[in-house]
């Protein structure tokens, strides 16, 4: 039996969550179970639990994303959480940011196959696109890095009063406590741990929300980089 053949039927919860875009969600799951495994984007052991552990786990993030905002999914990988979020929220304008070529190729194929006109794929690291991409309202991430390091990449991409939403596991509270000093330096003014997807995924998905004020880290970082890039003036 191939990995694709091990993909279980979509649960009823998936029909509820994805609504009219349920067929596209099924197609995405099939692509992950086939090309995603063959190209090394997900492990073959993940296929039997693709719906509960990955697609639904990510889609319920939509519960805490404001309406009509811009989103950057940092380290998007195989498109999680960016693509499930895009399927349930066509009102969002989403950028999938990923440094590896084989992953961005897969993401571009998925976006085109599913007709996700509100999604753009960008190859690069967060620190490389700083100042090149417009600041966004929301940064999302899942299984990318510990919170202090992730915030160093994601927070600078935010516009004033933006927020980073990081899908985390059982250690979310501990990570948040350990990252407080780093978050403060980045201009973070508010943090919280949220649980989303009650009654849809078990256990509910855990999200760390990091909110910035009027001067997020991105503004300061961009200014510092611009200053460093200026040629020094020598007296003649």
Give the pLDDT of residue 226: 42
Query: Is residue 114 part of an annotated ligand binding site?
Result: no
Structure confidence at residue 215 (pLDDT): 72
Residue 222, annotated as binding a ligand: no
Q: In this predicted structure, which of 98-112, 194-208, 210-224 has the lowest mean pLDDT? A: 210-224
68 annotated as belonging to a binding site for a ligand:
no
Any binding-site annotation on 75? Answer: yes
Predicted confidence (pLDDT) at residue 96 exceeds the cutoff of 60: yes
**pLDDT over threshold 80, residue 236:** no
Report pLDDT for 224. 47
Q: What are the structural domains of the chain?
A: 4-229 (3.40.50.150)
Look up the pTM and report it.
0.89
- Consult the annotation and say whether 80 binds a ligand: yes
The pLDDT value recorded for residue 144 is: 85
Q: How confident is the model at residue 4 (pLDDT cuts 50, 70, 90)?
A: low
Q: Give the Cβ contact number of residue 152 at 10 Å.
A: 19
The rounded distance, in Å, linking the Cα atoms of 72 and 121 is 10
Tokens of 219: 């503004």
Per-residue pLDDT for 228 more than 80? no
Provide mean pLDDT across the span 183-204. Answer: 94
Q: Is 148 exposed, middle or buried (0-12, 13-18, 19+ CB in 10 A)?
A: middle
């Amino acid at each position: 039996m191939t990995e694709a053949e091990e993909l279980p039927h979509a649960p009823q919860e998936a029909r509820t969550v994805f609504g009219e875009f349920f067929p596209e969600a099924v197609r995405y799951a099939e692509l992950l179970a086939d090309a995603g495994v063959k190209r090394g984007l997900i492990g073959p052991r993940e296929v039997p639990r693709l719906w509960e552990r990955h697609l639904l786990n990510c889609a319920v993030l939509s519960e805490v994303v404001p309406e009509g905002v811009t989103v950057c999914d940092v380290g998007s990988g195989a498109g999680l959480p960016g693509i499930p979020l895009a399927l349930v929220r066509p009102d969002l304008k989403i950028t999938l940011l990923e440094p590896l070529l084989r992953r961005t190729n897969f993401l571009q194929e998925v976006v085109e196959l599913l007709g996700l006109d509100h999604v753009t794929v960008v190859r690069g690291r967060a620190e490389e696109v700083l100042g090149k991409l417009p600041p966004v309202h929301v940064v999302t991430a899942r299984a990318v890095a510990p919170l202090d390091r992730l915030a160093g990449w994601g927070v600078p991409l935010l516009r004033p009063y933006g927020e980073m939403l990081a899908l985390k596991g059982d250690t979310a509270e501990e990570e948040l406590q350990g990252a407080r000093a780093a978050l403060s330096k980045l201009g973070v003014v508010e943090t919280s741990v949220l649980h989303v997807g009650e009654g849809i995924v078990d256990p509910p998905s855990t999200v760390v929300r990091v909110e910035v004020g009027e001067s997020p880290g991105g503004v300061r970082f961009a200014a510092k980089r611009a200053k460093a890039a200026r040629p020094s003036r020598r007296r003649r």
